[in-house]
Amino acid sequence: MSARRKRTWKQQVRHTLRDGARWTQGLPGPAGAAIGGAFRALPESTPGKARLRRILADYASVASPSGDQVPAPTAPTVGRSAAPNAYRGFLHIADVGDTYTEREAVTLLQLENAVLKRRLFREPLEPLPPTPHEDDDRDQAPERVARYLDLATSEQGEEGPLHLVVLAAYPSADNAYGNGFVHRRVMYFRRAGVRVHVAVVSASSEPGTYVHEGVPVIVGRGEELRHLLDTQSYASVGVHFLDRFQWERMRDHVSGHRLFAFMHGYESRRWIRTVRNHRTQQQLDDAVEHSITLQRFWREVLAHPHGPERFVFVSRWWRRAAQEDLELVFPGRRTAIVHNVIDTDLFRYMPKDAEQRFKVLWVRSAANLNYGPDLAVAALQRLRETPWWDRVQVRVIGDGKHFGLFEEAFAGDANVAVERRFADQAEIARLHREYGIFLVPTRADSQGVSRDEAMASGLVPVTNRAAAIPEFTDEGCAVVAGYEDVGGLTDGMVRLMADPALFTRMSAAAAARVRTQSSPEHTVAREMRMMGLTPEGEVGA
C-alpha cells in the first residue's frame, strides 16, 4: 500500500507541474518560469482551498441572513481573534490553515488569487446599462452647451488658454463641500489667466448650469461633455475621480485633447483599505466585487489609445499603493506626483502664544474609521486621566456616522465642546488662529489636506505614521505616533503641553513645511506647466 501511495503522489506532481506551466505563461517577465510549476501543486481539492471556504463561511455567519450588522472594530486586531468567529476588520494569516508556514500561506493566497484574476480578466467589462434619458439628452445637449458657452464667455471672456475640468461633483449652493479642493485649484488657474470650463458628469445629474464664485459649471449625464469635447479646442482636460460612467461617454470624443487623470484615492482603491467600514456580509461582497471591477476598468483606461497622457497622483505613496490595489503598473513616463494645493494665504501662519498648546482642535468628517475618530476619542480619554486635563480646552466639529463617539464620550466634560456640523473654509481658518494643537489621527490618507491646512496656520498636528503621512510630516513639525497607537497620540500632546518652547518651535516648523511642499507654487504652478497651460501672470496673484 505504501508503494502505491508513493506512485500516486508522483503522478499527481507530474500532472500539476504540467498544468501549472500552462497557467503561468501569461505572467510578466521571469515570474512565470519561477513559479509556474509550483502553483499547480495545489489541485482543486487542496485542503487549503477547503480551509479558505470554511473561513469565509465562518465570516458569513457573523452577519445574519437578515443583514444584521457585524460588530464594529473596537480596538486594533493583533494576532488571531480572541473569540471564535470574532471579526475585527482583518483575518490573521494563520486562519488560512494551521499546517502552513507563513511563507507558504502567503504564497498560497497570492498564487491562487492570480489564477482567479487571469480567468476573470479574459472577458472585457460589460457596458454600463443606459439611462432613461439618452435620447432627450442627445437632442438637447447642443442647446444646453450653447447656453453654457455664452455664460462662460460672460464670466471669463475669450482670452487665455482654455482648460476643461471633469468630475462628478462640484461646490454649489446646495452642496458646499463637493470637491472643494478642486475648486481651489480652479480659482488659482483663473487668477493666472486660464479660462476654465467645469463639467459635472454622473448618471444621477440633473442637466443645468450655474456659477459658483465666478466659475461657470455645466451639469449633465454625459452628452454635454461629448459636445464640449467635439466643439471646443481645449489646451488640456483634467479629470478628477475618473469613473466608468464618465469614461464610456468621453473615450471616443477625447481624441485630439491632452487628457490628465488625477488620482486621489477613492477612484482606484481596493476594498481592504476600507474594510473597517463594511458592516454586513453583503457590504463586504459588494466592496470586493467593486474592487475587481475597478481593476478591470483601469486596465482598459491604461491600454486605450485615447487614454490619459498622465496619471497624476497626490503622493508618492499613493502611486505605489494604487498600483498594488489595481494590480497593474503605470509607466513612469505617464505618471506625475503633484500634491493637492494648500491655500497659504487663507491658512496663513501667525505665531502662536505658548498658552495655545492647551487648546486642541478636531475638525474633520467622521464618516468612516479611516479618519480615526475612534482613535481621537481614545486619545482624548487618556488625556483626561493626566494632570493637564483641567487646563485643556477641546473643540470637536464634524459629522458622520461615527461622530456619536465624541458626543457619548464627552457629554459630561465642560472643557470639551462637541458640535455636530460642518465648518466652511473661512471659519476653519479662524479656528486655526484660536487653537494650537490639531488632533488628526488617521489610518489611510493619500495626503491629508485638512492636516496640511492646519499646519500652514501653525497648528502642531498630532497624527499617525500611516499611508502617505511620512511624506508630509516629520518629528520636527508634528507628533507622529505609530499606526493605531493611541498612547503615542496622548503622549505627544502631553509633551507639547509640558514644553512650551517645543510647542512654539514645532508650530513654526509645521507652517514652514507646508509652504515648501504644498503651497501654490509647488502644486498649481507645476500642474499648469505639465498640462501645457502658459498663462500670463503668476499663480496666486
Rg of the chain taking only CA atoms, in angstroms: 26
**Residues 6 or more apart whose Cβ sits within 8 Å of residue 203:** 131, 221, 245
- CA angle (5, 11, 13) in 5-degree steps: 105
Given the C-alpha cell 476573470, which residue does it identify? Answer: 120
The whole-angstrom separation of Cα 376 and Cα 489 is 8
Distance between CA atoms of residues 147 and 145, nearest Å: 5
**Average pLDDT along the chain, 541 residues, taken 10 residues at a time:** 43 48 46 43 45 41 35 35 47 86 91 88 88 95 98 96 97 87 95 96 96 97 98 97 97 97 96 90 92 95 97 98 96 97 97 98 95 97 98 97 97 97 95 98 96 98 97 98 97 98 98 97 95 65 39
Amino acid making up residue 240: H
> Side-chain half-sphere of 451: how many Cα atoms within 13 Å?
28
* Whole-structure pTM value: 0.81
State residue 94's pLDDT score: 83
